[in-house]
Structure 1
Amino acid sequence: MECKFRDCRSKFASAQFTVCCCVIFFFLLPVNEAWKQSKPRLKFSYKDTLMNGSGNPFQGSAESSSFQSLLIDEERGKLLVGAKDLIYILNLENLNKEPKKIYWPAAKERVELCKQTGKKETECANFIRLLHNFNRTHVYACGTGAFQPICGYIDLGPPTEELSSKIDLKTPEPGTLKCPYDPIQPFTSALIDEYLYAGTSSDFLGRDTALFRSPIHHLENQYIRTEHNNPLWLSDPKFIGMYPISDTSDEDDDKIYIFLRETALDTTSPEKAIYSRVARVCKKDIGGQRSLINKWTTFLKARLICSVPGPEGYQTYFDELQDVFLFNTNDDKVPVVYGVFTSSSSVFSGSAVCAYSLADIRAVFNGPFTHKDSPDRHWVEYQGKIPYPRPGTCPSKAFDSTIETTKDFSDDVISFIKNHPMMYKAVYPINKRPVFIQVNGGYRITQIVVDRVNAKDGQYAVLFLGTDVGTVIKALSVPKDNLNAEEVVLEELQVFEEPTPILTMEISSKQTDQTSRYKVWRSNNSVLGSGGQCKERAN
């Protein structure tokens, strides 16, 4: 299919920016018109996607098609797909070209024991839920192991040599604290400096869900976690994503930012409410000396607000975070966080995308803590004395030579953060409003990746939004002034033949040409790769 470019009659036209689509405009209007929405004029069906060569589907094989995880290997041009009892290694240019398989089933005795405990037969398998690059030759993988998680290494060999594909089972590692027992439990992880950070359950029944850090070398036993059975820290959490971010030039100050949703304790509503959170810990946190032993001593969290302002201060909230994407700017210390939220309202069904400045997130973590004197009191701003160093501060010789590790924190600091992990102020999105809204559209947005395009007047973020009916919405959000943005809906693509939820979206860090990046969409039974045949370009 030949791309025919049209001028966009908006700010893009003055920037000499053209796109391969017909576009319509949707403005973030005053609140009495906020729910007026336009639909994209350009739509691609699943058949269109295949015919024009912009989509390359992979359906798996007879052995397995229950896809669980994705990993793009840029250097080799490969895509690793974790499935039930095996891992596929696919060619990025053609997912169906000589796919390799690594079989990794759970032990037979483990499968039988799983079934005897009352689990469904379909659940008693090794679902590969975690794939991370370990080094240039190995990938670290973890699976549910028929409700007994296990981890291992895939030896791919040097990138310059012919690809090998063998799983190292000579030194398998227990996967507890690293991988869920359950194949469908919400889960996120990050492999950083040979430590695995994971938001997952630590037990068979899934009752103890926490934030863990575990060494991936099985000879080491030290781990760090959030405190047991303390709803002030976590209350039935569902982990969404996590990222390492350098807050300052001092490496000792590096932190891990974690995004989740949980049952809210800090609500005035008598009914159960779900709030979205951003949390953070210091990367070099090693726990306390006398209290919070093997527990985080720097764990803090704050509420993420995604809402539409209304008259007289009324807000329409989208409370349930579904996915996050860290969009790097020219300064790697101030990325923009994009989050997809859905409404928990019984009145309407809606989704929204909000963008957050990391500077605003940091400001909330540097602000007041929240406090509650007793169960029958309201949550208020903490007005008492804050111990030194301020709770949540990372130990650093540059900051204070007497505090080299978190074990040097005073009892006052440890006690304070144990009882005051939550910030009083919430984090609001840029311009105090979403950059994209969809209400009563017959679907919910659940996934997001963000690409960038260049124009003469700067860079623009392109949103790729996955839905629970197997479509992808492609849109742009362009700042107009300090309070408003212009939303440009470019196209809607049906990326899966059946209306099945998109569960994962990945985008390559390298461009296939001047403007396009490789993207992958995953449902439970299909994977589709897209190099973007019709692409944005800057003239």
Structure 2
Amino acid sequence: MSPIMMTSAGVILMLTPVLCLLSGFSWAATLGGQEREYNLQDVILDPKRFGGVTNFSTFLLDPSSGLLFLGARDAILSVDTNQLDKPARNIMWDVPMEKRRSCVAKGKTEVDCHNYVRLMEFLEEGRVYVCGTYAFDPQCAFMDVTSFTLEKNEDGGVKMETGKGKCPFEPSQHYTAVMAGGILYTAATSNFLGTLFDISRASGPEQERIRTERSINWLSDPEFVSSAFIEQSPGNNPNGDDDKIYFFFTEVAKEYDLYTKVKVPRVARVCKSDVGGMKTLQRRWTTFLKAQLVCEDKPSSQRYNILTDVFTIRHTQGDPGSTHFYGLFTSQWENEEMSAVCVFSLSDISKVMDGPFKELKKTCDNWINPEPVPAPRPGQCLNHVLKSEGFESSLKLPDKVLTFVRDHPLMENSVSAAPLLVRKGVTYSKLAVTLMDSGIAVLHLGTGRGELHQVEVVGQNATILQEIPLFPSQEPVNNILLHKGEALVGSPLSLARVRAEGCSLYPTCELCARARRLGCEWSRKENACRTTGTRPGPDDTIEQALRTCDIKEGRCSPITRELQVSMGLRLLLPCVQLSPRSCSWEHPPHRYTKQHHSDLEVTVTEESLGEYVCICQVCY
């Protein structure tokens, strides 16, 4: 152990936070206190590079050209991700002064009465559909990618159409949208006051623009998070099942009769060919079903009930059925910062949507399974069987089926998963996932303090690879896009490009050794992890690679942090916790400590000087 030293600056306290291999537990390690070594390929563009344009809220990437479009306040920017040293191109799309004054007169702030571009989606023939809040009067326009201009009217002004139902009114409102077969599906507020909420088909033929029923049983004060279009594979769809759109959100639960408002995460599903009912549910979804998502560590009974982001990815290319949804959660009941990641499979969601319905009987306040369920099954998507029975369209469905689905949108069962990762003391704001061929997942997690954390997940074991400070602490990460092995990370003011794949993610010898199956090898000469170019042989094991790292048996080898302290100081020593399992501290024997979850409060005295080691159990 390192000795304690006295200096003129005060006392130095040796702090070694460790997440280690314990008997019966799998390995994982933190890099507590390690300084970031920036990769030469990492680039950070600060606000000065964007000519005063701010409030970047939306990313849209053209993978073929590498052009990244950024929706901002009163502007759209274009950045070439292959040449970030080139100046960004700029389209101004602001609000006339008279309209801004009118917005302020209605009680809104001057800051909010601008045009915040919240939606950008590709259309056909090199066009992009863009929508902005436009001083609380949402408007949409068409952008030509080649010329990087907005289409104009005959009078030279921007050609616009209403964005109500397509784009939020307010810049900070929760919102999501997805394009499916050239048709826009959105989940957003639909009025000036922000009190009405819709999940809708927002474009296409007017008679097919349908939305949710205005009922708290359908949507109860929701905060929309994400959406995904799951298109059936033409070659692997023997039942002729319809394509589906999934929406993820947090809402106030109506099934719990408690004194406080309980928030629950939900997944909702609608079918692409749904055009509403003939009489009942006219111009409303006939296939809207929703289920609760449960992200819970059962041994500790810790449940994370606020959904903040979802990343959709296929585990097998070309197989829509292998789609998984990685959800980022926090807890309504915790006072401290906390984040968790749970992953839900499409197959598990489908099983719940095909299961029993939940019903509230008006004669009592208990939720029970309703009986009987009419045929054909309410909320079912069209397929070959339904069409053969004469139901070629949702307009043909009987009223009893439509009445049932109108009154029973919630499923009885929940979609449950255990956390892959838990972090206390950190609030994650954005998530993206890279899958390796060897079954490894790398989570790219943006924080509310402008950092990017990269975490490797193997089975149920999580390992922090890097914690990268990118932006000032007042700039939360609000966008992460993955492209060609890199992560494009955005804040409201800045943009960064960071490596998202490859051996350079593993900055220590131990981590590099455990990435041996990826073809990584530690170079003592360069003091870095490098790609070997050759696949590991049968005798080329992780254990063999670890022997070159001089690691103590049964322990990790983190960097030791030295903290300068003064006598009488009370401080909180952080311990990076990746799982719900408990953490314990090893420290000099004295009574001036108190543990707060995984962190340790220490009062500095002569007796309390020494080395502090945090050890956490990590597997389930």
TM bracket, shorter-chain basis: 0.7 to 0.9
* CA distance 1:386–1:277, shift in 2 (3 Å): same
How far apart, CA to CA, are the structure 1 residues paired with 2:386 and 2:209? 26
1:98 aligns with 2:66: no
1:327 aligns with 2:313: yes
How far apart, CA to CA, are the structure 1 residues paired with 2:69 and 2:35? 27
1:345 aligns with 2:328: no
1:78 to 53, 63, 67: 67
| Alignment size in residue pairs | 478
1:286 aligns with 2:275: yes
- Give the equivalent residue in structure 2 for 1:464: 444
* CA distance 1:531–1:153, shift in 2 (3 Å): farther
The 8 Å contact of residues 506 and 519 in structure 1, kept in 2 or not, is answered as yes
Q: Secondary structure at the match of 2:120?
A: strand
1:89 aligns with 2:78: yes
Q: Secondary structure at the match of 2:406?
A: helix
How far apart, CA to CA, are the structure 2 residues paired with 1:523 and 1:488? 25
Question: CA offset at residue 140 of structure 1?
Answer: 1.1
- Give the equivalent residue in structure 2 for 1:300: 289
The 8 Å contact of residues 25 and 487 in structure 1, kept in 2 or not, is answered as no
Structure-to-structure mapping, 1:369-388, within 5 angstroms: 369-374=357-362, 376-382=364-370, 384-388=371-375
Question: CA offset at residue 176 of structure 1?
Answer: 0.6
* CA distance 1:147–1:43, shift in 2 (3 Å): farther
Question: CA offset at residue 381 of structure 1?
Answer: 2.2
1:231 aligns with 2:231: no
Q: Secondary structure at the match of 1:109?
A: helix
Superposition RMSD in Å: 2.6
Question: CA offset at residue 76 of structure 1?
Answer: 1.4
How far apart, CA to CA, are the structure 1 residues paired with 2:474 and 2:118? 23
Question: CA offset at residue 151 of structure 1?
Answer: 0.8
Question: CA offset at residue 29 of structure 1?
Answer: 11
Q: Secondary structure at the match of 1:207?
A: coil
| CA displacement, residues 441-492 of structure 1 (integer Å, 9 cap, x when unaligned) | 2x211211001223xxx3311111111111121111112xxxxx22122111
| CA displacement, residues 494-536 of structure 1 (integer Å, 9 cap, x when unaligned) | 121334321121212xx3xxxxx23112212212222458357
Q: With structure 1 as the length reference, what TM-score do the two structures score?
A: 0.83
| CA displacement, residues 133-191 of structure 1 (integer Å, 9 cap, x when unaligned) | 1135111111011111111111013xxxxxx2110133422101000010010111001
Q: Which amino acid aligns with 2:493?
A: N
- Give the equivalent residue in structure 2 for 1:528: 496
Question: CA offset at residue 251 of structure 1?
Answer: 5.6
Q: Secondary structure at the match of 2:268?
A: strand
Q: Which amino acid aligns with 1:227?
A: E
The 8 Å contact of residues 240 and 384 in structure 2, kept in 1 or not, is answered as no
Q: Which amino acid aligns with 2:410?
A: M
1:503 to 469, 478, 494: 478
How far apart, CA to CA, are the structure 1 residues paired with 2:336 and 2:74? 40
2:380 to 371, 381, 393: 393
Unaligned runs of 5+ in 1: 1-22, 158-163, 480-484, 512-516
Question: CA offset at residue 244 of structure 1?
Answer: 1.1
How far apart, CA to CA, are the structure 1 residues paired with 2:359 and 2:419? 29
Question: CA offset at residue 375 of structure 1?
Answer: 7.5
2:434 to 451, 474, 489: 451
1:489 to 447, 464, 467: 464
How far apart, CA to CA, are the structure 1 residues paired with 2:450 and 2:190? 32
Structure-to-structure mapping, 1:62-211, within 5 angstroms: 62-157=51-146, 164-170=147-153, 171-211=159-199
How far apart, CA to CA, are the structure 2 residues paired with 1:27 and 1:192? 46
* CA distance 1:28–1:74, shift in 2 (3 Å): farther
* CA distance 1:226–1:67, shift in 2 (3 Å): same
How far apart, CA to CA, are the structure 2 residues paired with 1:106 and 1:25? 53
* CA distance 1:438–1:195, shift in 2 (3 Å): same
How far apart, CA to CA, are the structure 1 residues paired with 2:450 and 2:186? 28
| CA displacement, residues 243-282 of structure 1 (integer Å, 9 cap, x when unaligned) | 1114571565111111110011112432111100011000
Q: Which amino acid aligns with 1:103?
A: M
Q: With structure 2 as the length reference, what TM-score do the two structures score?
A: 0.73
Q: Which amino acid aligns with 1:214?
A: A
Q: Secondary structure at the match of 1:89?
A: strand
- Give the equivalent residue in structure 2 for 1:9: none
1:478 to 451, 455, 458: 458
| CA displacement, residues 288-337 of structure 1 (integer Å, 9 cap, x when unaligned) | 10011111010000000001112xxx621110000001121113222111
* CA distance 1:487–1:37, shift in 2 (3 Å): closer
Q: Which amino acid aligns with 2:307?
A: L
- Give the equivalent residue in structure 2 for 1:241: 226
Q: Which amino acid aligns with 1:529?
A: R
Q: Which amino acid aligns with 2:433?
A: V
* CA distance 1:56–1:208, shift in 2 (3 Å): same
- Give the equivalent residue in structure 2 for 1:16: none
| CA displacement, residues 339-375 of structure 1 (integer Å, 9 cap, x when unaligned) | 0000111454321100112111111111110011127
- Give the equivalent residue in structure 2 for 1:15: none
Q: Secondary structure at the match of 1:90?
A: strand
- Give the equivalent residue in structure 2 for 1:161: none
Q: Which amino acid aligns with 2:381?
A: C
How far apart, CA to CA, are the structure 2 residues paired with 1:409 and 1:389? 8
Percent identity, please.
Answer: 31
Q: Which amino acid aligns with 2:329?
A: F
The 8 Å contact of residues 19 and 28 in structure 2, kept in 1 or not, is answered as no
